[in-house]
Amino acid sequence: MTISSSWKYKPTAIRIEIFDGSVSVDDDPEDFNGTPSTTFSASALFLINQALPEAYIVSVSPRLSGLVSSAKDDISVPKYRLLAAVSPDTFTDSTINWYPVTLQGVEPLTDFNSTLRPFLTTEYELIPKTLGISMSHSEPLAVTVLQPSKALLDRITIEWGQIDFCSDPSLLAANRKIRIESSPFVLVNPVLFSNYLSIGTLSYLATPTATKHSAVTAIFSDARYLDGMDGGPVFQDASNTCIGFVAGALHKKSGQGDLSVIVPWDQVYKALSTIVQYPPDTIQESRQEPSPLDTFTWLAFHGVLLLEVYRDHLRQSWGSGILLADDILVTNSHMIENGYRKITAWISTTESVELEELGNPLPGIDIIFFKVKWGNKMNPKTRVVKPAQLCTDPKAYTPGRKVYSLGYGLIYPRMATGLPLQPLRSLGIISNIVSMPLFTTDSTSTPVMLVSSACCWNGSSGGAVFDAETGRVISLMTSNGRVNETGQVIPQMAFTLPALVVARGLAMLTENQVIEVNPKVETLWQLRETHESLMVEDKPLKAKL
């Protein structure tokens, strides 16, 4: 539920100075002399309630969690000093004033850590790494509460922002857009990077136990994580409702991509209530427990299936596919380019069907159709798995049009986390459209490639990009951008096959037709030049007086 409160807030930047030697957390930071050997930064939320009165700074940054947890567990830690800056209150025309803050308390995020553990013990890691302890520690993330000095409180004269809190992520069903307020790269230039705004989508909901009835204890987002963003508050779209805090980024060690990690407010509240006397929503008469995952209607099936490709007894891969009719599915042909033994489409964690290859009526285009062999498993009239609808309205193919993507990318959907199947979701726009004749016999151009900023991660191939206005599939996700020199994947640059082309392919499949594709279209999909560049020589016009 959303808690209406008299609490107010300020986004805050935290400076973490590390000195040579080791120290107890009880040592006075003012005794540290000289220049710190290393300096890090983090973000935090400065909260105040003048009616109580109560004021403290809250963060979930792994850097703070690591330092404090190490000292709490009698693990040797370096000397450190914590300081805070609040923009624009502690800024002048020529200086940035950093004020010392003291530790008030720390409490592990137990359920959140349990949810992350299966990821961190396999092929993922959390960025940033903790200071003082390794990520193998049983409780790597915690809520840290810092106490501001009177001098810092007195310095804040500009109006505080109003803030409410949401303890139930299911209330975001109608709008999964989020806003993050943080201070990334604040040590580079505090003026430039303090109170930095970012936007994104709630892409994935995670639970700690092997049941769909569990409450959500971690959220993954397509919002781009930047160094120092950890600890920043996350709000629902353009509102003042806080839904949680950024903990960092879940990074796939293979370099295939990242997802920002958010600690839901309910998890923060549980830890915070053991540290402070007045956590923000205790002034209310009642609280509501978070809804379990299986009550979220926005996780309902939208026509995108998980595909598993079995090549031999040792090799297996996965991708996505779109159900176009009761028994026809489309995906990318590169899914089977190395041969396969069997392909299975998963409806849920317990329901799957085999696919039978129907072929590709568009040679040179990364597309292939399959027949879904339902058999006697499901009655098409009663099952909840309904085909997606293609968007064939040419007017919808406009740069800047809002879209969202659904695909089983980055996270293996059936990994042992006890989660129901859910594709990653990302909001974006149509960034560009390339049109040319699809076939050598065509005299008119049609959209043959759609570039979208809605993310396409590895594994999302074959998934769908939906038109946000109509809910129809506007394109088939095919590939993402990649920097050749470094191999860095760019999920926000998604190359997708327009639904107009998919529809023509489906019609040709039904009519058993095969027509030669325009070679320029094949060249385009190889991301090579399709047009000759001519340098036009001309003299510049002379200005007339």
Contacts of 156 (CB under 8 A, 6+ apart): 10, 46, 86, 89, 90
State which amino acid sits at residue 39. Answer: T
Reported as a pLDDT band with limits 50, 70 and 90, residue 545 is low
Per-residue pLDDT at 397: 96
Contact call for residues 21 and 34 (beta carbons, < 8 A): no
Whether residue 298 has pLDDT greater than 80 = no
Tens-place pLDDT, residues 352-385: 899 999 999 999 999 999 999 987 665 555 556 7
The pLDDT > 90 percentage for the chain reads 58
Say how many Å lie between the first and final Cα of the chain, rounded: 70
Conformational region of residue 214, where left means phi above 0, alpha means psi within -120 to 50, and beta covers everything else: beta
| Phi, psi (rounded to 5 degrees) for 297 | -65, -20
Q: What pTM was computed for the model? A: 0.88
Whether residue 387 has pLDDT greater than 60 = yes
Per-residue pLDDT at 73: 52
**Do the first three CATH levels of 2-284 and 304-525 match, i.e. the same topology?**
yes
Three-class SS of 370-429: EEEECCCCCCCCCCCCCCCCECCCHHHCCCCCEEEEEECCCCCCCCCCCCCCCCEEEEEE
- Across the chain, mean pLDDT equals 85
Per-residue pLDDT at 468: 93
Per-residue pLDDT at 287: 44
Tens-place pLDDT, residues 445-455: 999 999 999 99
| Phi, psi (rounded to 5 degrees) for 376 | -100, 10
Q: What is the C-alpha separation between 146 and 284, in angstroms, rounded?
A: 24
Per-residue pLDDT at 416: 45
Per-residue pLDDT at 130: 73
Q: Which of 23, 53, 40 is nearest to 83 (CA)?
A: 40
Residue range 304-525, CATH number = 2.40.10.120
Q: What is the C-alpha separation between 97 and 119, in angstroms, rounded?
A: 39
User: Helix, strand or coil for residue 269?
Assistant: helix
Whether residue 294 has pLDDT greater than 60 = no
Least reliable range by pLDDT among 379-383, 407-411, 501-505: 379-383
Whether residue 313 has pLDDT greater than 80 = no
Per-residue pLDDT at 283: 35
Question: Is the omega angle on the peptide bond into residue 413 within 30 degrees of 0, that is, cis?
Answer: no
User: When comparing pLDDT for 476 and 266, which is higher?
Assistant: 476
**Domain segments of the chain as ranges:** 2-284, 304-525
Conformational region of residue 74, where left means phi above 0, alpha means psi within -120 to 50, and beta covers everything else: left
Per-residue pLDDT at 282: 42
Q: What is the C-alpha separation between 392 and 106, in angstroms, rounded?
A: 55
Reported as a pLDDT band with limits 50, 70 and 90, residue 172 is low
Per-residue pLDDT at 402: 95
Per-residue pLDDT at 134: 43
Residue range 2-284, CATH number = 2.40.10.10
